[in-house]
Structure 1
Amino acid sequence: MAQSAVPISEVLVVAECWQTEPDSEAVIHRAIATAAGLVAADVGETELAIMLTDDAGIRTLNRNWRGIDKPTNVLSFPALQPTGPRGHTDAPRMLGDIAIAYETTRREADEEQKPFDHHLSHLAVHGFLHLVGYDHEKDEEAGTMEELEREILSQLGIPDPYAERMG
């Protein structure tokens, strides 16, 4: 089922507000590594970038790329995938980019009474799953993606983020 390779992930902190959460990079790396170990996707010799931004930065991205002029918690930008065979000297294949907004993530964690690192892990996993082809536009796809998120978060020792909604 799952591949054992872990993608190279680079976390870029572009907003000072993230300084209040010094463990964020480690939390994200752990979440991505766990997700990569549980997805049925080829993530060997791949890389991705995770940008930690603020609400203003993610609002600009959301407006420019999705036509929605408001901040959101996480955005994923899957990279176009090359066609043809990979050569042994090729650079790692780029999965894409993830952007996570601090203020929205903090507000949601506080409103849902969840530890910040749990919510951040969930958003990193959610963004990663989009990069490897999962989506939630249709109910069936949403159910599949949410079930995989639950499984990955469980491996991280994080309670089901959808439990309240289901009850």
Structure 2
Amino acid sequence: MKQYQTDLYIEDLYFFDRKLESPIKESEWQNWLEKWLSLLELDLDDQKTYEISLILTDDQEIQSLNQQYRDKDQPTDVLSFAALETDFPDTDFLDSITLGDIIISVETAQKQALSQGHSLRVELAWLTSHGFLHLLGWDHPDDDFLKEMLTLQEFLLNSIELQAPSIELFFDS
């Protein structure tokens, strides 16, 4: 299994502004993303560094972004903005490659964690794994693709010894 180096840029607007301690340390985020990149067995150059921005914010900010970029005037839990929308271009001359941005509303994550009966830590990891997969090209245009993506998220959370939410929560009974 290849090992990948990531540069993670965290902009913690939520916990920092409120003088609260985040349930996940920056070193944990870094370790998780590097582990996930390795586990996914992508055809990436292990000599490169992969850059990801993680922004933790509130419902007001994510609603503004959701309106601006998706024409949806409502908060959402996670938004992803992939830097590479198509196959990886020729990057031989680059030392690092930007994968994109993951933006999470901690307020929405807290509500979802409470309603689903798990910790904020689990919900933040879950949402980050979802956004991370989007940065790498996964999508869920229908229920079959969504189930495949959620199963992969479950695998990623299990790899860092967190119990993923039941994927059945995402489908009507």
Q: TM-score, normalised by structure 1?
A: 0.85
1:140 and 1:107, CA in 2 relative to 1: closer, same or farther beyond 3 A? Answer: same
Q: Following the alignment from structure 1 to structure 2, what is the Cα–Cα distance between the partners of residues 108 and 26?
A: 24
Counterpart for residue 133 of structure 1: 137
Listed as ranges, the gaps of 5+ residues in structure 2 are none
What's the counterpart of residue 86 of structure 1?
92
Counterpart mapping for 1:51-130 below 5 A: 51-80=55-84, 83-87=89-93, 90-130=94-134
Q: Which structure carries more relative contact order (alpha carbon 8 Å, separation 6+)?
A: 1
Once the two structures are TM-superposed, the CA of residue 106 in structure 1 deviates from its matched residue by: 0.7
Larger mean Cα displacement after TM superposition, 100-109 or 33-42? 33-42
Aligned length: 164
Contact kept? 1:78, 1:95, Cα under 8 Å: yes
Structure 1 residues 93, 157: CA separation in 2 closer, same or farther (over 3 Å shift)?
same
- Of all paired residues, the percent bearing the same amino acid is 28
Once the two structures are TM-superposed, the CA of residue 6 in structure 1 deviates from its matched residue by 3.5
**C-alpha spacing 1:23/1:146, structure 2 compared with 1 (3 Å):** closer
Q: Does 1:4 align with 2:8?
A: no
CA drift at 1:23 = 3.0
More displaced 10-residue stretch of structure 1: 71-80 or 4-13: 4-13
Paired letter, 2:92 = R
Matching residue of 2:38: 37
* TM value normalised by structure 2: 0.83
In structure 1, the residue matched to 2:147 is 143
